[in-house]
Amino acid sequence: MAKKKSGKRKRAQEEDIALDYDDNKSNQPGATANTTFLPLTGQCHHYRKVGEVPFDIQKYWHQRHSIFSEYDAGIQMTDDAWFGVTPEPVANQIATDLSLRAPDEKTTIIDIFAGAGGNAIAFALSERWTNIIAIEKDASTLACAQHNAAIYGVSEFITWVNADCFSYLSENRSTIDASSTVIFASPPWGGVTYSNTEIFDLSTMHPYSIQEIHKACTDMYSVLYLPRHSDLRQVAKLAPKDKKIDIVQYCMKGASKALVAYVPASST
Ligand SMILES: C[S@@+](CC[C@H](N)C(=O)[O-])C[C@H]1O[C@@H](n2cnc3c(N)ncnc32)[C@H](O)[C@@H]1O
């Protein structure tokens, strides 16, 4: 189980968060020896008033307290991160469901598209995982995630990796223990037009198709966070022989936010 400070969220002071420090987690499968805490950049914002918020983000900003209950403590977001962040109640429910579903031998979770940290924070708060690795290729977004995790008191329980997740998985293939690892993937869905069709064709998901993502983690238990109207026939095709995929719709206020596919590993 992950260690967590006396069960209570420790709200970090803003000035502490941007400091670089090394945290030796070299015992973690596939983890880099050190986690560097990146500085917030000019791309990172904590919008306080609607007048500061770019027009296309305002509808998300109005839901800021549903997205992060600790928003007012100084949550930081890049403008792009608003479109993809998993709202806190959904992230917490997924973390709870995964804790119950994942076999006991699964002790490491790798969040390969960490974004602003919505899911990684929930996984850390669940205290289910010995190792949590969060990968994000955009340095400003990763800095937001680290900062936001610090607000929830869990930043030091996550190994942060600023990298392309596909390169990371292939380069660390020899040290990642597939039998004890779960991959969580909440990929970009291709922009706001993803919802324009009745059934979402996952093979056209941009920039990574479902097949490409699945191929990168097929030997590991994987959890895929996908558009609510995803083509279920395409999801079903990911099932290893003689195994089943569980699919759960996650709703807030009666509306589905996403579907999550719990995909067994091909080999274990
Ligand atoms: C939908 S968002 C993830 C949101 C996240 N679950 C959260 O709650 O904040 C997808 C993220 O994946 C990142 N990303 C896209 N391609 C990537 C790659 N190849 N490797 C790592 N991160 C990537 C994007 O920069 C973006 O922040």
Q: Which atom of ligand 1 is nearest to the CA of 113?
A: 12
Domain membership of residue 1 (yes or no) is: no
Q: How many domains does the chain have?
A: 1
Per-residue pLDDT at 34: 58
Distance 137 CA to ligand 1 centre (A): 7
Domain membership of residue 5 (yes or no) is: no
Per-residue pLDDT at 193: 72
Its pTM stands at 0.89
| CA–centroid distance for 96 within its chain | 14
CATH at residue 77: 3.40.50.150
Question: What would the DSSP string read from start to end of 168-186?
Answer: HHHHTTTTS-GGGEEEEE-
Domain membership of residue 268 (yes or no) is: no
118 lines ligand 1 (CB under 6 A): yes
Distance 250 CA to ligand 1 centre (A): 19
Domain membership of residue 112 (yes or no) is: yes
Task: Give the contacts of 147 (CB within 8 A, at least 6 positions apart).
Answer: 17, 18, 40, 44, 74, 75, 76, 155
Task: Give the contacts of 76 (CB within 8 A, at least 6 positions apart).
Answer: 40, 44, 45, 46, 116, 143, 144, 147, 148
Domain membership of residue 240 (yes or no) is: yes
Distance 64 CA to ligand 1 centre (A): 19
Beta-carbon-side half-sphere exposure of residue 254 (alpha carbons within 13 Å):
0
226 lines ligand 1 (CB under 6 A): no
Per-residue pLDDT at 268: 55
Domain membership of residue 224 (yes or no) is: yes
Per-residue pLDDT at 157: 97
Domain membership of residue 2 (yes or no) is: no
Domain membership of residue 3 (yes or no) is: no
Per-residue pLDDT at 26: 33
pLDDT averaged per 10 residues in sequence order, the chain, 268 residues? 39 33 34 73 98 97 98 98 98 97 96 98 98 98 98 98 98 96 97 81 95 95 97 96 96 95 87
Per-residue pLDDT at 192: 72
Is residue 249 classed exposed, middle or buried when 0-12, 13-18 and 19+ CB atoms within 10 A define those classes?
A: exposed
Structural domain of 146: 10-263
